[in-house]
Amino acid sequence: MPDTIAPMDTRQGLRGGATPLAVRMRPTSLDEVAGQKHLLSPGSPLVSLASDKSGEQGAISVILWGPPGTGKTTLAQAIAHSSGRSFVELSAVNAGVADVRKVMEQALSNRDLYGVTTVLFLDEIHRFSKAQQDALLPGVENGWIILIAATTENPSFSVISPLLSRSLLLTLEQLSDDDLGIVIDRAVKDPRGLDDTVVLTKEARATLIRLASGDARRALTALEAGALSATASAIKGKPVITDEIVALAVDRALLRYDRQGDEHYDVISAFIKSVRGSDVDAALHYLARMIEAGEDPRFIARRVMISAAEDVGMADPQALVIAVAAADAVQYVGMPEGRIPLAEAVVYLATAPKSNAAYMALDAAIADVRAGNFGRVPKHLRDAHYQGAKRLGHGKGYQYSHDSDLGVVEQQYLPDELKGANYYRPTEHGNERDVSARWEKLRRIIRGR
C-alpha cells in the first residue's frame, strides 16, 4: 500500500473504483496504530519484528486472534512496511494450496538470491482446511517466510497444532471508545482521509463510536457514509456531519445510548428487572436496545449468567447451564450471530420459575461469619489424616453417610454456636418445590427431629 493516498473529494463522493476510507487510513507504521497497547509495548514481539530490518532476530511467525475491525490486517501491513521486508497478502477465502506453494517458492528465491525475508499475511486462516494449513509448515519451519495469520475464531479449534506450536499466539482486544475517537479524528483531519473538508459534530462523533462497537473499520465506513450524505445536502460552507445524518446514512435509528453513562445503567437495570419479572417481551426489547447500541456482548452475557443464578436459581437449575452455554456461544461465533443464543437464553430465563433462595441463604451465612458467628469445626468433621490428628480426637465419631441405607445419617455438621441455624429456605416455585420437600426430610434426619 502506498505511503500516501490522495484524499477523497467529499463533494464528488465515492466514484467507481475509489479506495474506501478505511483502507486509505490504514496505518503504515506501528506508531499510528490505535489500541492494542498490550501488544505494542517496547520490546514486545510485534515491535521487535517491525524494527528488525536485518532479520538478525530470526523469523517469528504470529497468529493474531481477535474480533473484526481490531487491526489484524493493519498490524501485519505496518510490520511489513516498518521492517522493509517483502509483503504478500493472501485471503483463505479465495487462496488455495497452489497459491501458498507459489508464495513459498518466491520467498525462498528472494531469501537466497537477495537476502530479503518475506512476510506472508494470511487473513481468515480458520477457513483453511488441515491440508491447506499443512502446506504452510515447511515455510514456517525453515524460516522461508514470516507468517502473520489472522483469525476471528479460537485458534485452538481452527488452527492445526503443528502450526500453533511454531507460532506466537497474540490476542487482540476490541478498541475502546478512546481508541475509536483517535481513529475518527485522524480520518477527519488527515490528507489521506477527509482532509478537514467536513465538520464532525461532537454528537455525531459519539454516535459513530457507539455504532462502531469497538470496530475501527465500521467506524470509518460510517464516517465516510456520513460525509457523503452531509456533502450531498450542504448548500454552502463546509458540510456538517450531525448524529442525525450519521444515523440516516447507515440506515440505523438514532438511539441515545452511552455505554459508560446513565443510559447504559438504566437499560441493563430494566433488562434484569424484566427478566426477573418474567416479561419476555420487555426483556427482549431491552436486549435489542443494547445490541443495537453496540453494547459489549460479553457484558450482556455476564448479566444473563448472573440473572440465571440470582433470579431463577434452584427453581430451574438448567437456566444457569443455558446462560453459560449462551455466553460461550457468543465468544465463539461473535456478533451479529451471537444475538441468537443470547435471545434463546433470555427467553428461557424470563419464562422460567424464579427463586433467589440459594443465594439469599449464602448471604445469610456470610452475614453470620462477618458478625463473628462461626465457632470451631466439630471434632468429628476435622481432618484426621495428618500425624497426631487422631490423638487430638479429630474424626472420632464421624459417621460415613454412604454406610446408611438412606444415604444420610443423624449428625451435627454446624459448629455448636450455630446449631439449628436455618439458612436455606426453598420456595415452592418450579424445581425448588421438590427440593423443598426433600430438604425438609433431610433436615429432620440430620438433626434428629
Domain extent listing, the chain? 36-171, 177-249, 262-351, 357-447
Could you give the angle at the alpha carbon of 73 between the alpha carbons of 246 and 229, nearest 5°? 15
- Residue 416 is predicted with a pLDDT of 86
Residue 419 has pLDDT above 50, yes or no: yes
pLDDT digits (tens, 9 = 90+) for 171-219: 998 888 899 999 999 999 999 999 999 999 998 998 888 888 788 888 8
- Residue 287 is predicted with a pLDDT of 94
- Helices 262-276 and 339-351 pack at an angle, to 10 degrees, of 50
Considering only 20-34, 40-54, 60-74, 399-413, which range has the smallest mean pLDDT?
40-54
Residue 355 has pLDDT above 80, yes or no: yes
Contact by Cβ (8 Å): 222, 198: no
Considering only 83-92, 231-240, 292-301, 377-386, which range has the smallest mean pLDDT?
83-92
What is 262-351's CATH topology?
Zinc Finger, Delta Prime; domain 3 (1.20.272)
What is 357-447's CATH topology?
post-AAA+ oligomerization domain-like (1.10.3710)
> pTM of the predicted model, to two decimals?
0.55
pLDDT band at 350 (very low <50, low <70, confident <90, very high): very high
In whole angstroms, give the CA distance from residue 369 to residue 362: 10
Identify the residue whose cell numbers are 460525509: 227
CA 160 to chain centre: 22
Q: Which CATH architecture has domain 177-249?
A: Orthogonal Bundle (1.10)
Backbone angles phi, psi at 313, to 5 degrees: 55, -140
- Residue 289 is predicted with a pLDDT of 87
Residue 12 has pLDDT above 80, yes or no: no
Homologous superfamily (CATH) for 36-171 = P-loop containing nucleotide triphosphate hydrolases (3.40.50.300)
Backbone angles phi, psi at 339, to 5 degrees: -65, -25
- Residue 209 is predicted with a pLDDT of 87
| Rounded alpha-carbon distances, angstroms, from residue 121 to 73, 137, 154 | 8, 14, 18
Q: What's the mean pLDDT when you consider all of the chain?
A: 84
- Residue 293 is predicted with a pLDDT of 77
Considering only 42-51, 94-103, 123-132, 274-283, which range has the smallest mean pLDDT?
42-51
In whole angstroms, give the CA distance from residue 4 to residue 422: 73
- Residue 371 is predicted with a pLDDT of 87
Euclidean distance between the first and final Cα of the chain, in Å?
82
For the segment 111-116, the average pLDDT, to the nearest whole number, is 82
